[in-house]
Amino acid sequence: MTGRLQDTVALVTGASSGIGEATARSLAAQGAAVAVLGRRRDRLEDLADKVRADGGTAFVVVADITDQRQAAAAVESVVAELGRLDTLVNNAGFMGVGPALDSPLEEWQRMLDVNVQGLLYTTHAALPHLLSAAEDSPRRVADLVNISSTAGRVARPGTAVYNLTKFGVNGFTEALRQEVMQKHLRVSVVEPGTVATELSSHLRDGIRQAIETQIQDIELLHPEDIADAVSYIVTRDRRVAVNEILVRASEQAW
């Protein structure tokens, strides 16, 4: 399989479904060897089989990135197996919504663990390898893409802690971008709007129904729409850095 990412290696977290799965397949279609990371081995193995059937290279990594040791070991296993790391897509996420007064603290903690700590753990482990790839790869550039949300720029009632995590991701992305841009490591953020994924499937019953009512008249984005944005970012020539892409459903106001 040939493409703009030929001879590169990409790691996608939260790859067992939705945006992560679509992104892994999109990067593989561009020629990258893809490491797919998540907690559900069966889903990851199925994804890897699809990538291989299409002529690509895939490596399955089962890990919980909210555990720092597992996150670091996962990154190191990718480099050991595939030889390098040129692209990291921090996609794993957890969304809990509802009035702050009635929200269980466990839900808040889970959002902090996955959306913030997990992203930090994988980023910290990957940075040396990404910087190395930017120096010695034929493309002479590497990419770190964080998947945020419209909730990283628009605060709304019922999403306070989710907003906290996604605003934080946006701020972290921009500060890190400025730190490493002279070394040709591009750091970008993609902010999806309403996407047809499993992200809302775990919401409490009453809240899930309210969300479904809220978006029932919107034609939802597909995971492939966000994967397209990620692929666009990482396939640009090294002289081009796409710092941020906001992708809303065409009928979405927030």
Cα distance between residue 226 and residue 133, in whole Å: 25
Report phi then psi at 90, rounded to 5.
-85, 95
Look up 232 and say whether it is catalytic. Answer: no
Tokens of 104: 């269980």
Neighbouring CB atoms inside 10 A of 71's CB total 26
Tally of residues, the chain = 254
Contacting residues for 10 by C-beta, under 8 A, at least 6 apart: 24, 27, 32, 33, 34, 35, 85, 86, 87, 88, 89, 234
- Would you say 85 and 16 are in contact if contact means Cβ atoms under 8 Å apart? no
Active-site residue, selected from the candidate residues 162, 190, 193, 235: 162
Provide Rg for the chain, Cα atoms: 17
Tokens of 32: 């990258």
Q: Would you name the residues annotated as active-site residues? A: 162
